[in-house]
């Protein structure tokens, strides 16, 4: 076992336990049931979450009743340059009432007080190969081992301690800062039920145990005496799906007790490995796995293996926080210690939720993205109501956040973000990417109705200005410009990002409508409108213009780089299609960084992906080091600050993007290899078309690659200088010009099962 996070001390379980201490706890999860493992030998804590436990209920219509009559007036004021008046009108008439969506809640924690008097030889690891956290120590010279995991097949968290000497433990579920709870003892274990106010959910946290010792239930949990081994099972269920949470928990716990620890554990490992083992990355460099991982962070620049670990951790986190049938990973995945978490630990959809899913395709974890599409379906009725009630338009739209219930109305009262009707459109672009990676268009077929509804909204919402169709009132998330009048503004018409997103959305709608024989009036209309959508322009600094006019930014180092959306995640900008804009994209990125950009983890992660698309391995490497040294907590979770999981996922995607790119139908191997990753190998990355790619390299140059087609596929492949592709019979290949770096490009058409070797 080599792939693990290791810490040399427990996370603090005293006063700072739910402050800084939490950033040292290690996350376990089965997609919906999450735990943060503190691993204290004497006084342990597992902080708990379940992904449907949110504060408050759904079904609200928060649209401001004045919006429908005012949003066009806002647009007119913006066109007249009356920014302040437009923003005032926006505040009074467009902001939603109330202005907040629902937020994700913590399920509290469970405390385990052990009878050991002291401890030595401590080690705590999170084994990424089996998704098990382990704590090892000695007490009185005797070895003690504790294991923790959250099982998807059996829907329980299991905590197991084995010891050569007898021990006891007090398990306490009653430490709660939530007034709405009640503790009971039932046949299956002791349980806490919580009835959330404001139409919120009812949920249950249940715990029980199996042991060779004696178990006695009491008013705060249970105690165990004279044990050499003990397993505690925890289940959490809410009534989100209409079930009785207590009955569901009891069924989970009874089933786990019936199966027994070894069976529960092996089922968990098998389930997890089926996803995690699809990919294996090895970067050269010294093996420093005996040094605590948090200590290694300070020397990231001389430790390429740390990027390998970050990559593996990102895959671990995605598998642990988002599985078919669960809610999508929110701002904190599923791990949240607060009743009022930062930004509500919601789904912020002007970058953050999308970033969570950037690694899914390339890391061969496409199934983990399915909750996103299920969520879009949940959003649809709300988003149609928002389009109708707020804008008086047909179709579907969402603003920059959504919550468990799929709320699509504006969130917050914050001009740089709140009124931006592009959230659903961006999320919907994931359908095309998902289909490209999986090589299967059924997801697009199932969801073409939602894509069409989103497009329908824009057919009514876009307006013609100087011969172009643009958006407005909108924002370029979340930046502020300097108007030539001297006024500052955020609300605007025609930000670059909006046109890019809408262009991608319209193109997919047209493409899939034709593919599925589902063309209609809308298809024709979109084809006409597409011609009038603006392309990005180059401004006075040689940069991509962020707004329709070449305004200066109030914050030139702003964390959002929305106007480079076409560079990444989209491929509207590329060396092949838009070489001039690629130069401008580079200038844009350099300006942002020169002015302090990349100061949040997710911003840094986006920058890594953009440099990878710009094929600059050196910058990719520098920014990965910056992500590790400046934006990573001791538990390796991403630091916004505070903790926000998007940077983990965006960073993971960026590491993959440095090794393999497949956008625009062209596969490029090692497109942006950081110079410090001199040698390495990777197995099982996915290129679009459902092509598995394995490679090895040394001296910074590719030695060998093998592409396995999991479907019939047509694609182009860049052949590195001095190498050639070995194609088996059945595959057809023809030279197809050169890539922008002057390398030969082959156009290949081959059936499922073909293996192509590049040597």
The residues binding ligand FUC (CB under 6 A) are: 331, 343, 348, 352, 417, 478, 559-560, 600, 602, 640, 644
Find the farthest-apart pair of alpha carbons in the chain and give their distance in angstroms, rounded: 81
User: Is the Cβ of residue 233 or residue 343 nearer to ligand FUC in the bound state?
Assistant: 343
User: Is the Cβ of residue 245 or residue 416 nearer to ligand FUC in the bound state?
Assistant: 416
The answer to whether the beta carbons of residues 691 and 670 sit under 8 Å apart is: no
Euclidean distance between CA atoms 507 and 490, whole angstroms: 28
User: Is the Cβ of residue 293 or residue 352 nearer to ligand FUC in the bound state?
Assistant: 352
- Kindly report the CA angle at 459 between 455 and 463, in degrees rounded to 5? 135
User: Is the Cβ of residue 476 or residue 508 nearer to ligand FUC in the bound state?
Assistant: 476
What is the signed CA dihedral for 448, 454, 456, 458, rounded to 10 degrees?
A: -140
The answer to whether the beta carbons of residues 359 and 318 sit under 8 Å apart is: yes
DSSP letter assigned to residue 610: H
The answer to whether the beta carbons of residues 605 and 654 sit under 8 Å apart is: yes
Residue whose structure tokens are 């928990």: 249
Per-residue tokens: 331: 């701002």
| Smallest distance from ligand FUC to CB 80, Å | 29
| Smallest distance from ligand FUC to CB 414, Å | 8
What is the pairing mode between strands 713-719 and 666-669? parallel
| Smallest distance from ligand FUC to CB 497, Å | 13
| Smallest distance from ligand FUC to CB 488, Å | 18
The CA-atom distances, in angstroms, between 569 and each of 172, 494, 504, 664, 720 are 46, 20, 11, 12, 25
User: Is the Cβ of residue 114 or residue 420 nearer to ligand FUC in the bound state?
Assistant: 420
User: Is the Cβ of residue 114 or residue 602 nearer to ligand FUC in the bound state?
Assistant: 602
| Smallest distance from ligand FUC to CB 417, Å | 6
Euclidean distance between CA atoms 463 and 23, whole angstroms: 47
| Smallest distance from ligand FUC to CB 284, Å | 34
| Smallest distance from ligand FUC to CB 30, Å | 25
| Smallest distance from ligand FUC to CB 681, Å | 34
User: Is the Cβ of residue 417 or residue 526 nearer to ligand FUC in the bound state?
Assistant: 417
| Smallest distance from ligand FUC to CB 640, Å | 6
User: Is the Cβ of residue 641 or residue 730 nearer to ligand FUC in the bound state?
Assistant: 641
Per-residue tokens: 66: 């004045």
What is the signed CA dihedral for 668, 674, 676, 678, rounded to 10 degrees?
A: 10
| Smallest distance from ligand FUC to CB 349, Å | 9
User: Is the Cβ of residue 574 or residue 600 nearer to ligand FUC in the bound state?
Assistant: 600
- Kindly report the CA angle at 52 between 638 and 256, in degrees rounded to 5? 95
Of 244, 223, 226, 225, nearest to 235 (Cα)? 244
The CA-atom distances, in angstroms, between 635 and each of 12, 46, 102, 287, 398 are 13, 15, 28, 19, 34
Residue whose structure tokens are 């699509």: 408
Residue whose structure tokens are 């460099």: 285
Residues 6+ away with beta carbon under 8 Å from 690: 437, 438, 439, 440, 709, 710, 711, 713
User: Is the Cβ of residue 152 or residue 327 nearer to ligand FUC in the bound state?
Assistant: 327
User: Is the Cβ of residue 352 or residue 459 nearer to ligand FUC in the bound state?
Assistant: 352
Euclidean distance between CA atoms 648 and 314, whole angstroms: 6
| Smallest distance from ligand FUC to CB 104, Å | 12
CB atoms within 10 A of CB 698: 13
The answer to whether the beta carbons of residues 510 and 527 sit under 8 Å apart is: yes
Kind and range of the H or E run holding 267: helix 261-276
**Exposed (0-12), middle (13-18) or buried (19+): which is 541, by Cβ within 10 Å?**
middle
| Smallest distance from ligand FUC to CB 341, Å | 10
Per-residue tokens: 393: 């338009």
Phi, psi of 58 (to 5 degrees): -100, -165
| Smallest distance from ligand FUC to CB 342, Å | 7
CB atoms within 10 A of CB 463: 15
User: Is the Cβ of residue 71 or residue 602 nearer to ligand FUC in the bound state?
Assistant: 602
CB atoms within 10 A of CB 329: 31
CA quadruple 529, 532, 536, 541: dihedral sign: negative
| Smallest distance from ligand FUC to CB 109, Å | 24
Euclidean distance between CA atoms 389 and 383, whole angstroms: 10
| Smallest distance from ligand FUC to CB 203, Å | 25
| Smallest distance from ligand FUC to CB 358, Å | 15
User: Is the Cβ of residue 305 or residue 640 nearer to ligand FUC in the bound state?
Assistant: 640
User: Is the Cβ of residue 75 or residue 640 nearer to ligand FUC in the bound state?
Assistant: 640
The answer to whether the beta carbons of residues 468 and 536 sit under 8 Å apart is: no
Among the residues of 49-167, which ranges form H helices? 67-79, 83-89
User: Is the Cβ of residue 364 or residue 412 nearer to ligand FUC in the bound state?
Assistant: 412
The answer to whether the beta carbons of residues 322 and 533 sit under 8 Å apart is: no
| Smallest distance from ligand FUC to CB 381, Å | 25
User: Is the Cβ of residue 332 or residue 574 nearer to ligand FUC in the bound state?
Assistant: 332
**Neighbouring-strand partners of residue 237:** 204
**Exposed (0-12), middle (13-18) or buried (19+): which is 442, by Cβ within 10 Å?**
exposed
User: Is the Cβ of residue 604 or residue 640 nearer to ligand FUC in the bound state?
Assistant: 640
């Amino acid at each position: 076992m080599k792939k693990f996070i290791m810490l040399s001390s427990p996370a603090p379980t005293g006063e700072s336990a739910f402050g800084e201490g939490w950033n040292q706890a290690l996350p376990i999860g089965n997609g919906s049931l999450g735990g943060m493992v503190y691993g204290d030998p004497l006084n342990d804590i597992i902080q708990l979450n379940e992904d449907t436990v949110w504060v408050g209920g759904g079904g609200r219509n928060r649209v401001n009743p004045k919006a429908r009559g005012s949003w066009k007036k806002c647009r007119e004021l913006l066109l007249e340059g009356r920014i302040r008046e437009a923003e005032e009108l926006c505040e009074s008439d467009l902001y939603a009432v109330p202005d907040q969506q629902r937020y994700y809640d913590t399920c509290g924690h469970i405390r385990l007080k052990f009878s050991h008097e002291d401890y030595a030889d401590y080690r705590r690891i999170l084994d990424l190969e089996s998704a098990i956290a382990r704590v090892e120590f000695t007490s009185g010279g005797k070895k003690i081992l504790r294991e923790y995991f959250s099982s998807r097949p059996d829907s329980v968290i299991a905590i197991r301690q084995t010891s050569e000497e007898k021990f006891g433990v007090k398990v306490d579920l009653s430490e709660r800062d939530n007034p709405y709870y009640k503790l009971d003892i039932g046949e299956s274990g002791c349980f806490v039920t919580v009835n959330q106010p404001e139409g919120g959910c009812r949920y249950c946290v249940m715990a029980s145990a199996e042991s060779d010792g004696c178990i006695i239930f009491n008013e705060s949990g249970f105690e165990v005496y004279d044990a050499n081994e003990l397993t505690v099972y925890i289940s959490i269920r809410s009534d989100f799906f209409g079930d009785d949470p207590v009955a569901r928990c009891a069924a989970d716990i009874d089933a786990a007790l019936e199966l027994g620890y070894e069976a529960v554990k092996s089922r968990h490992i098998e389930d997890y490995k089926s996803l995690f083992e699809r990919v294996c990355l090895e970067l050269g460099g010294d093996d420093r796995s005996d040094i605590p991982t948090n200590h290694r962070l300070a020397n990231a620049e001389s430790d390429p293996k740390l990027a390998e670990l970050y990559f593996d951790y990102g895959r671990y986190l995605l598998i642990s926080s988002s599985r078919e049938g669960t809610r999508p990973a929110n701002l904190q995945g599923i791990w949240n210690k607060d009743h009022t978490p930062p930004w509500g630990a919601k789904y912020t959809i002007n970058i953050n939720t999308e970033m969570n899913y950037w690694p899914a395709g390339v890391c061969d974890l496409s199934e983990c993205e399915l909750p996103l599409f299920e969520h879009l379906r949940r959003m649809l009725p709300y988003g149609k109501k928002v389009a109708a009630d707020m804008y008086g338009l047909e179709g579907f739209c969402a603003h920059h956040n959504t919550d468990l219930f799929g709320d699509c109305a504006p969130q917050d009262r914050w001009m740089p973000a709140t009124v931006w009707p592009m959230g659903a459109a961006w999320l919907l672009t994931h359908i095309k990417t998902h289909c490209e990676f999986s090589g299967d268009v059924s997801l697009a077929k199932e969801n073409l109705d939602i894509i069409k509804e989103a497009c329908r909204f824009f057919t009514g919402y876009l307006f013609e200005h100087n011969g172009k169709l643009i958006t407005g009132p909108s924002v370029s998330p979340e930046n502020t410009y300097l108007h030539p009048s001297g006024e500052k503004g955020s609300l605007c018409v025609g930000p670059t990002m909006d046109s890019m997103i809408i262009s991608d959305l319209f193109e997919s709608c047209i493409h899939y409508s034709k593919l599925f024989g589902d063309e209609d009036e809308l298809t024709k209309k979109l084809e006409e409108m597409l011609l009038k959508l603006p392309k990005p322009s180059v401004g006075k600094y040689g940069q991509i213009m962020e707004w329709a006019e070449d305004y200066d930014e109030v914050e030139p180092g702003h964390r959002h780089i929305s106007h480079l959306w076409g560079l990444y995640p989209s491929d509207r900008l590329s060396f092949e299609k838009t070489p001039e804009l690629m130069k401008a994209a580079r200038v844009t990125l350099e300006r942002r960084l020169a002015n302090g950009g990349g100061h949040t983890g997710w911003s840094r992660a986006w920058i890594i992906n953009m440099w990878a698309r710009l094929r600059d391995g050196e910058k990719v490497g520098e920014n990965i080091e910056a992500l590790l040294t400046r934006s990573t907590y001791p538990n390796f979770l991403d630091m916004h600050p505070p903790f926000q999981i998007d940077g983990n996922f965006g960073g993971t995607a960026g590491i993959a993007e440095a090794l393999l790119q497949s956008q625009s139908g062209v596969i490029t191997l090692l497109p942006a290899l950081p110079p410090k990753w001199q040698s390495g190998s990777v197995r099982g990355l996915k290129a679009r078309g459902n092509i598995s790619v394995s490679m090895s390299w040394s001296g910074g140059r590719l030695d060998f690659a093998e592409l396995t087609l999991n479907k019939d596929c047509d694609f182009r492949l860049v052949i590195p200088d001095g190498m050639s592709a070995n194609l088996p019979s059945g595959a057809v290949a023809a030279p197809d010009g050169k890539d922008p770096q002057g390398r030969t490009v082959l156009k290949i058409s081959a059936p499922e099962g073909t293996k192509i070797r590049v040597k």
